[in-house]
Structure 1
Amino acid sequence: MTEETPRQATIFDVARLAGVSHQTVSRVVNDLPNVRSSTRVRVEEAIKKLRYVPSPAARALVTRRSRTIGLIATGGTEFGPSSTVLYFNAAARDARWSVFTANMVDSNPASVRGAIEAFLRQNVEGIAVISGHEGSVDVVAGMELTIPLVALEATRHVGLATVGADQYSGARTAVSHLVELGHRSIAHLAGPAYSVDARERERGWRDELSGHGLAARVIGVGDWSPMSGYTFGSTCSLEGVTAIFASNDQMSIGLVHALNERGLRVPDDISVVGFDDIPEAAYVSPPLTTVRQDFERIGRDMLSTLLARIDGDGTTSLPHSVPELIRRSSTAPARTTP
């Protein structure tokens, strides 16, 4: 004997419970005018009690709108983009919008264009791009679409609304912290060349050093992974270096492990600063000084910017948020030479 699946509530069930017509329920669901406030409250209570979920197709017929968004997400499991995707989707649910998502490991132009074309067939009202790959943004911007677009981007992009954190400012804050601790030879482990974020962090490192009359001498390039941080820490020449600014926390974790294997103590011999403030950063040994990005704010700002453009208010971009330095035990005053 099998258990019978509960029947999903319909608009007519809601109407009966609220004591109104199904047309009135439809007007409440689609947030249309000319419904008395007391009636609206009664219908909303019935919807909640019955756990009624309106049909997107039926809603579109009434409003002439799909209330759907397309989301291009590339970069696999990279912490920043994946966190932003989660908060973007949460904000969309709160706003009662549906999101069609195309997740991609890389930013192959043909795949990105194919996803956009699929979104258009589904009548999405706008498209968001959350990607660590600059090429994804370029592909979408180059398609000259007639629906609103918004992208996660460290720098402004002509003709495209952008939202993000000020990566350049965050990097300068990290390097300034090390300079204040007396460090004068500060190396950098950069992220991959395809990443606008990585390039902005490197630029911030260079400019902050230059502003203090210091040379940007030692630099390596990683791929965001702990392994690339470990490789840099194992093989690079660190003669005279007393601090390293790494472009993300995962690379910092691999880097610290390699330094320990080389007999270099963090922070006694070399201070290390990361970027992002991933959950593990506070619990590694030593706890990692890093630059925190507010991914929840970024995801919600992306959604609000896109919805504003869909509503035609002319919004182009919100001010980029400023990352915050989180001081922990991986940084200390520069060692003194006997």
Structure 2
Amino acid sequence: MTALSGGPRANIRQVAAVAGVSHMTVSRVLNEHPSIAPATRERVLEVMRELNYRPNSAARALASRKSNRIGVVVDSVIEFGPASTLRAIEDAAHDRGYTVSTVALSADRSVTAHDALVNLMSIGIDALCLITPRTSSIDLLREVSSGIPTLVVKAEPEEDFFTVSVDQRMGAALATQHLIDLGHREILHLAGPLDWLDARGRERAWRECLERAGLRAREPVVGDWTSDSGYAFGGSMDPTVTAVFAANDRMALGLMHALHERGIRVPQDVSVIGFDDVTDARHFLPPLTTVRQDFRALGTLSVATLLAELEGGDVPHRTLIEPELVLRASAAPPHTAAPQAARGLPRGDVNGNIDAHDEL
């Protein structure tokens, strides 16, 4: 093995690759974590010597100075999922005597994951959490060596980081299977942006659930999480569809609004299921059947994982939290009668306002 002398300094990822271990294992060796087997520790140290690897002394000094602070990098903080996760982590950290410092990634990517990490390390943090819906942000984080416990809130496993998440695939499967059990055979998916990890997981689970039941999976319609995108889709939705699984509650709301304007009743003509169980979902007309994510449990488990790693405990690499299907009035067995629009029944006013006395 040849040391990288005279060229770019070896980094932690190169050490991990040569030693045949994960980036997380190298970080644990650097921080003298007790869970590392002696043989693994010696192999990593030997590779460090052979590659002439020198840890960033400034970063290690900051990391070793206990601050009782968790750094959080959050992407798309205005969206319901990331915002709810951040609040839950802040509450859980406070309960454990920690503060949270947050850096939000900008929509135009002028503030990257690298910038966020540099900012947080400069003020001193004990652990790092990344709340990101996109693969691109995780890829950027992989390029940076923080040397401290790092957790990513995502459902799919990561070799280099701890992961904690609500089980997105399970939630989508619960919603889709419920529609199948009700007797629906034409079930469309109104997906979120497919560069979002959660949206991709929900879409895959919907498709797999239909395939297992021997049903056709139509091409999903891709929205942007907003009620406006659900409304736009609902204005021209194929009338042969009897049920829609929407990837979030806001798109489900817009969809139901558009269907009402067309005289198509929910759930008599079309069943609708959402995802998230936003605070107002039970007040939709009709109240929305949806998948509830336990964000409080997500925040508690994320903080507990990071602190257990700091204290040298036995920490699971990946943890999934089960979601819950909340049954309300927006989903029912398919109805064979002609939809309301064909019978010329009331549709709501020109502004889309729904009369609570109208039959939906």
TM-score w.r.t. structure 1 length?
Answer: 0.78
* Contact kept? 1:70, 1:119, Cα under 8 Å: yes
Whole-angstrom CA distance in 1 between matches of 2:154 and 2:108:
15
Give 3-state SS (helix, strand or coil) of 1:258's partner.
Answer: helix
Give 1:107 shift. 7.4
* Contact kept? 2:268, 2:332, Cα under 8 Å: yes
* Paired positions, count: 277
Give per-residue Cα distances to partners, 1:179-238, cap 9 Å, x unaligned: 1111000000001022110011001110110111000014200111111111111133x1
* Contact kept? 1:275, 1:292, Cα under 8 Å: yes
* Contact kept? 1:259, 1:265, Cα under 8 Å: yes
Match of 1:38 in 2: none
Match of 1:139 in 2: 140
Give 3-state SS (helix, strand or coil) of 2:102's partner.
Answer: strand
* Contact kept? 1:109, 1:136, Cα under 8 Å: no
Give per-residue Cα distances to partners, 1:236-256, cap 9 Å, x unaligned: 3x1321000000001100010
Which consecutive aligned stretches of 4+ in structure 1 deviate over 3 angstroms post-superposition? none
Structure 1 residue 82 corresponds to structure 2 residue 103: no
Match of 2:149 in 1: 148
Give 1:314 shift. 4.9
* Contact kept? 2:112, 2:140, Cα under 8 Å: no
* Contact kept? 2:188, 2:220, Cα under 8 Å: yes
Whole-angstrom CA distance in 2 between matches of 1:105 and 1:256:
32
Give 1:65 shift. 1.5
Structure 1 residue 251 corresponds to structure 2 residue 254: no
Match of 1:273 in 2: 273
* Contact kept? 1:76, 1:105, Cα under 8 Å: no
What amino acid maps onto 2:167 in structure 1?
D
Whole-angstrom CA distance in 1 between matches of 2:109 and 2:128:
18
Where does 1:92-107 land on structure 2 (aligned, <5 Å)?
A: 92-106=93-107
Unaligned runs of 5+ in 2: 1-60, 339-360
Match of 1:29 in 2: none
RMSD of equivalent CA atoms: 2.0
Query: What percentage of residue pairs aligned between the two structures are identical?
Result: 42
Match of 1:16 in 2: none
Where does 1:137-176 land on structure 2 (aligned, <5 Å)?
A: 137-176=138-177
Match of 2:57 in 1: none
Whole-angstrom CA distance in 1 between matches of 2:196 and 2:291:
17
Match of 2:233 in 1: 232
Give 3-state SS (helix, strand or coil) of 1:331's partner.
Answer: coil
Whole-angstrom CA distance in 2 between matches of 1:261 and 1:317:
48
Whole-angstrom CA distance in 2 between matches of 1:104 and 1:265:
41
Give 1:67 shift. 1.4
Is the alpha carbon distance of 1:336 and 1:270 closer, same or farther for their aligned partners in structure 2, counting shifts above 3 Å?
same
Structure 1 residue 66 corresponds to structure 2 residue 67: yes
TM-score w.r.t. structure 2 length?
Answer: 0.73
What amino acid maps onto 1:296 in structure 2?
R
Whole-angstrom CA distance in 2 between matches of 1:150 and 1:107:
24
* Contact kept? 1:141, 1:160, Cα under 8 Å: no
Give 1:337 shift. 6.0
Match of 1:128 in 2: 129
Give 1:147 shift. 0.9
Where does 1:142-221 land on structure 2 (aligned, <5 Å)?
A: 142-221=143-222
What amino acid maps onto 1:146 in structure 2?
G
Whole-angstrom CA distance in 2 between matches of 1:316 and 1:155:
14
Worse-matched range after superposition: 144-153 or 204-213: 144-153
